[in-house]
Structure 1
């Protein structure tokens, strides 16, 4: 089974940085990616990158230049956050380079940032925390990073995103419920806290939580391969602690697997 997890526009002169669940980074020139028709399945990523057995792509980030002053910020399932200068990824090696030291953890998200933006971490159990990336000191590739959120019980971080001006936070559950919430409801805190309630989780674990604008569209994919494309503006704005509204009707046994933002 495969799902659409991200959609973006890149020129043939740019690079794509791929981050995997094993904490490695690989990069590829855009012009080295084969071009196919709209309905084609494409080429398996294992034919383009030297991945280990069972290594899975977590994030793909288009990069114009490795000489910029930006950063790559990564989040792990156990709540760690790592911030590394983009320049640290300019010399790729076959088999990838180590981006983060996981030690039993897994990488769930990576974002390109400017160094002074706010970040939001969201968990499967319906918690979220907002903090400034200035609270995360830059480190070398391969470091363990610092605590972004303190998790309770068996909860896991499932998403991280950058706060964008004029955007709201979209949250979608496995049972097909979702909502948008104004970012002003997520007051900034120091990193490492327990976070605040992001959604009433009675409608299933959270599968995706990311910032969206009124102009964005969403591609929602289920475990059984059903896909719908809807404008983000069609999803109602609600408060943090609400359970959301049904945004996708699912057949028995099916569940939402991934949500991709199209901008």
Structure 2
């Protein structure tokens, strides 16, 4: 338009109001999410993986550089929420379809490019949830032994800067784990 008329478009293009959202146009398909210790994430269609018989050699799940290693690898659907808990005690969220799609042996994209991580934040735990009613509670644990149980619904926030999941008592403490629990679950911390 700028080339044809000499200036930018004056009226913005907005999605039409109605029953259809942008997310409805994205297929809800099974994907494998891979996240490395260095912070690289990707989603891969499950079609690229196959069942092997006894004696199979296996297949490469990610091309890693240097001393990077896969920390989290799980199957989910493209419309599930992925919750990223960082060592700084914050939680960020993204839909699985927002992660970069890559082949089975690709590295993927860095999570900091997708989410607004603070400096020196590392991923401590990653959880995939269908919705915020999937489990009633979330338990967080820190390196210094602080444990916190809260309702999972408390983290349903669209904030790009993340949500503070836990406040530390000591400056050198950090989040080491997060798990979904029900009132009947027993929890063993080692």
Q: TM-score, normalised by structure 1?
A: 0.50
Show the counterpart of 1:201.
168
Cα offset, 1:138, TM superposition: 3.2
Deviation digits for residues 146-202 of structure 1, max 9, x if unmatched?
Answer: 343344333311210112513332210112111122222223548xx5422121133
The 5 Å alignment of 1:53-202 reads 70-90=30-50, 94=57, 96-104=58-66, 105-148=68-111, 149-164=115-130, 165-189=134-158, 193-202=160-169
Taking structure 2 as the reference length, what is the TM-score of the superposition? 0.66
The superposition leaves residues 46-91 of structure 1 with CA deviations (integer Å, 9 ceiling, x where unpaired) of xxxxxxxxxxxxxxxxxxxxxxx52211222343321112232216
* Residues paired across the two proteins, number: 150
Question: Do 1:131 and 1:189's aligned partners in 2 also have CA atoms closer than 8 Å?
Answer: no
Q: Which has the larger radius of gyration?
A: 2
Is 2:79–2:95's contact at 8 Å kept on the other side of the alignment? yes
How large is the RMSD of aligned CA atoms in angstroms? 2.5
Compared CA separation, residues 214 and 99, structure 1 to 2 (3 A): same
Deviation at 1:137, TM superposition (A): 4.4
User: Which of the two has greater strand per residue?
Assistant: 1
In 2, the alpha carbon distance for the partners of 1:146 and 1:188 equals: 24
Q: Which residue matches 1:213? A: 182
Query: Unmatched 5+ residue regions in structure 2?
Result: 1-28
Q: Are the structure 2 counterparts of residues 86 and 79 from structure 1 closer, same or farther at C-alpha, using a change threshold of 3 Å?
A: same
Post-superposition offset of 1:131 = 1.7
Distance 2:169 2:105 in 1: 38
CA gap of 1:194–1:98, structure 2 versus 1, over 3 A, is farther
Q: Deviations over 1:205-248 (max 9, x none)?
A: 11111222223332311xxxxxxxxxxxxxxxxxxxxxxxxxxx
> CA distance change for structure 1 residues 88 and 188 in 2, over 3 Å: closer, same or farther?
farther
